A and B are shown apart, each in its own frame.
Chain A
Amino acid sequence: MATSFRLNGETVIYHGDPRTSLLNVLRDTYRLTGAKAVCEEGFCGACTVHVDGEAVPSCLRPVGLVADCSVTTIEGLAERDAPHALQAAFRKHDVVQCGMCFPGMVMSLSKLLEENPSPSREEVKRGMTGNMCRCTGYERIIDAVMSLQDNAEARP
């Protein structure tokens, strides 16, 4: 059985078992390794991708369920030379450490800012509940997200 879906703007047809997780299909078949397999239980958020505009953990989604959907991964979020405002803010504020959680963090928070361009600090924290980080202690990530509010053109 083949599963057809849009992946970062291109139509792809996956020929394997439709019960395979979207995460494994992205990483093993399409070699898009930006989404990370960290907990594989849907807790950590490191594998977050956009499916039809919604941020979801790709580890819990069988690829068969994204048939005919549009999937965007961290690799497809922004042009190479024009990073997303969040990526630019994280870089500018030097908040990255080991980096494993950040692709998922960017995918989740980019959706949060789309829905709420001027979140409070508490709202950002709540929005990060599904994105864990073991290195940074979070606060400086939140500082970087909040900095976007001072920069109108950086808003997504």
Chain B
Amino acid sequence: MSGGYDASTAVMDYPRCDAQDKLAGRTRYTVDRAGPETLKAVLFRSNITAARIVRLNVEAARRAPGVRAIATAADAPGKFGLGIADHVLFAGDVIRHHGEPIAAIAADTMEQAKAAMELIELELDPLPAMLTMEAALAKGAREIHADWKDYEILLEGAKRGGNVAWEATVERGDSDAAFSRDDVTIVEGCYRVGRQSHVPFEPRAVNARFEDGRFNIETSTQVPWTVRSVTARALGIPESHVRVTVPAVGGGFGLKFDCTLEPYAAVLAKMTGRSVSLINSRREEQLTCLCRENAEIRIRSAVTPDGEIVGREATVLMDCGAYGGEQVFLTTMTAHTLGGNYRVGAVKLASRAVYTNTPPNGAFRACNGVYNTFVLERHTDEICREIGLDPIEFRRRNAIGNGDVGATGQVFEGDVLRPMLERMVEKYPYASSVESARDGWKRGRATTIGTWFVFVGPSAATVNLNADGSATLVTSGVEIGSGSMMQSLPQIIASELGIEPDAVIVKSADTDASGRDLGVGGGRQTVSLGAASAAACADVREKVLAVAGELLQAEASRLVLKDGRVEFRDGAGGSVRLTDVIARAEATVGPVSGSGAFTAPGVAAMPGCAAGHFIDAIDIPVFAVHDCELDVEIATGRVVVRNYRVIQDVGRAINPRAVHSQVQGGVVQGLGYALHEEITINDKGFFDQSGFETYRIPLAGDVIPVDLEMYEGAPSIGPLGTKGAGEVPILNVGATIACAVANATGKQVSELPLTPPRVLGLLKDGTEAIRLDHISRNWRENVISK
């Protein structure tokens, strides 16, 4: 990008331009857009966990009043997935989880569609259900996907087998030798976490039409291009036959980082020739939520008396549910999270996505980073206790810094974590916080560190200059509430083109108008779309300055775009209005537009040490230091968080106020995860929490203001040095709360969430240590042999 543009002009607390209509109830989300002319669709879902389908007859339902079409497996035979194509749209022969769709019905009204469901005849032959990873991994366990060997492989290099959908491993150095040293202390622990439900206030929803031989899909998604490709695969049609547009999205948090409802509506739209709306009821949304997965972890480390970690071995079992989904990809992130934060000598890590007969899991803000950080930080505190080192001092000595090597052999650039940690304890010294708790309470404090990443990858942008001096940005970016489309991108473009952010028009996502994009998630939107947009602006600038050069009789290199004009960089001579340059361009060379693209250049890992990984190294690491002080009520086990402090590596904050909002919201979601949010699965394989009454998200009365300090200046390839700021605030919350509860109670905390009964169990020593006998202490026995 051409120099001389002052990046600081992008930095401001620019308010979002969609607030007024959202506040007035005028914003039309996907759920608001289907009028009476639109057919209403419902999914006929399995009410059993595992079975063979003996007979399915939808003829009576098809003849029911108002019914326009019914689709079943025969109408969408294609398989799709990440890494492996293991997922089908409709259960055809086998039902693998409660709530799995078997048929889709479109009718004139919702009541008619629901009435028709009652007429579907279904005969089943139940199969033994495997509801836990322990059951699925047991010797001789029934294979949930009997034909797993025949599935198409979409990414080579991973081991799979039986009920292990995907296995990612890291082996660097000789950990056997490290654990055999006679000067090391070996610390071992087992940990377990449950599922977390996203609860976006707008459920997954879609409106579809079939027009001129193509599918028009309007949907509440974070990933328009994934919806396009999965719909095409499921329906067996070319991707170019699918157009995806996305209005305002009422929350995602990762749940909408996958294609789910869209292909059903598409099939029905084609069958009926009508617009079809399909919206998950809250109960469906909850019972088939692609949760943050439940996981089981065994970790052990060999540590010298002065706190050097010479060896580390860990096995992470991730429950992917009945289909691989995002967990297949997320096995990759164990290396960078559980294998992150600290310098480690030799390392062996296994991350296994395990099939069970439960609803599939998915991606949720910072994904498995959240529980891997919980495990790593609790394990670190256990190490400190065993070897008698202060936890802050241990972290100071071992935190990853400039030139240090990560788990997969990637070399980190810049000292970021250590100065952030030092800043936290300097700001809130431990010595000053020894005020003791009230009678009947125990007080604890903890400080944790965390490593996450920006999920870069391809983005494309086009910027069109308009005659009035405004600019239109065309991308597949989606505004899910984080503000990246409403704030970051207009700010970046305004800064690049010397105009006001209000003069930037952001077109909502449309795969027919924009180039490909990976989607909103992994903190990538400001970084990847921002970089593509900045590149498009550079293209625009070059064209504008060439024309302006003719008008001003000057070399383009002497000119600069500022305040809606083209001026001389050195302040000399005259200037010309941008609108005049645009008019001149239209008359001489045609309207001005620019295009830009971005993808990750790819950071090197050590060859041969990572297997089954989608990314071997992280292009943009993001670090966080969290600190909290809390009280535990001895009589009840209730945890009251007294204060919560965050120092977050933001690269460069271009909208500090918006970053604060993301951190407050992300930490509070993390407090829910740490303290009370959990989906449990009953013995029939159903989720126990089917709505807001049983799944409790944090209320206003539960929260406190989060104290944030932004750490700026860490290396980033993002535009203006930005990093994603919305994903990472949730990363260390479970870890910090757990470590603080452990410090308050003096007990080992090995499980989340820390509900009052669970904490009371710890206090009364009534909680049995987690054993995880199905994960061997011999790491090699936990991986598929070569």
Contact = CB atoms under 8 A, between A and B. Distances in A.
A139 B705 contact: yes
Contacts of B701: 125-126, 128-129
Nearest to B279: A37
A27 B516 CA distance: 35
Contacts of A77: 24
Contacts, number: 162
Contacts of B664: 136-140
B55 interface: no
A38 B283 CA distance: 10
B687 to A, nearest CB: 16
B585 to A, nearest CB: 36
A98 B200 contact: yes
A148 interface: no
A32 B28 CA distance: 10
Nearest to A29: B36
B691 interface: yes
A99 B18 contact: yes
B658 interface: yes
Interface in A77-110: 77-78, 80, 83, 87, 90-92, 94-103, 106
Q: A-side binding surface: helix, strand, loop or mixed?
A: loop
A38 B665 contact: no
B645 to A, nearest CB: 14
Interface in B433-465: none
B481 interface: yes
Contacts of B692: 39, 41, 43-44, 132
Contacts of B481: 97-99, 135
Contacts of B22: 96, 99, 102
Contacts of B589: none
A15 B724 CA distance: 51
Contacts of B153: none
Contacts of A35: 25
Contacts of A75: 24-26
A114 interface: no
Interface in A41-87: 41, 43-44, 46, 73-75, 77-78, 80, 83, 87
Contacts of B27: 99
Contact of B23 (A39, A103, A133, A142): A103
B661 A34 contact: no
A78 B23 CA distance: 11
B26 A134 contact: no
B189 interface: no
A36 B36 CA distance: 17
A115 interface: no
A138 B700 contact: yes
Given A28-B36, A98-B481, A100-B201, A90 B282 contact: no
B23 A90 contact: yes
The size class of the interface chain B forms with chain A is: 35 or more
Interface string B25-51: 111110110011000000000000000
B359 interface: no
Interface stretch (B118-126, B243-251, B293-301, B376-384): B243-251
A33 interface: yes
B253 interface: yes
Contacts of B32: 27, 33
B94 interface: no
A125 B29 CA distance: 28
Most buried by B among A91, A92, A124: A91
A7 to B, nearest CB: 14
Nearest to B660: A140
A43 B696 CA distance: 10
A35 B704 CA distance: 28
B169 to A, nearest CB: 36
Interface in B686-709: 691-693, 697-701, 703-706
A139 B706 contact: yes
Contact of B24 (A31, A34, A125, A131): A34
A98 B201 contact: yes
A40 B704 contact: no
Nearest to A92: B15
B493 interface: no
B684 interface: no
Given A39-B691, A132-B697, A102 B23 contact: yes
Given A97-B251, A99-B18, A99-B19, 7 more contacts: A38-B201, A39-B282, A43-B693, A99-B27, A134-B251, A134-B669, A140-B664
7 contacts: A35-B25, A36-B202, A94-B661, A132-B697, A137-B664, A138-B699, A139-B706
Interface of A: 27-28, 31-41, 43-44, 46, 73-75, 77-78, 80, 83, 87, 90-92, 94-103, 106, 124-126, 128-129, 131-142
Interface of B: 13, 15-16, 18-20, 22-29, 31-32, 35-36, 198-202, 248-251, 253, 281-282, 480-483, 657-658, 660-661, 664-669, 691-693, 697-701, 703-706
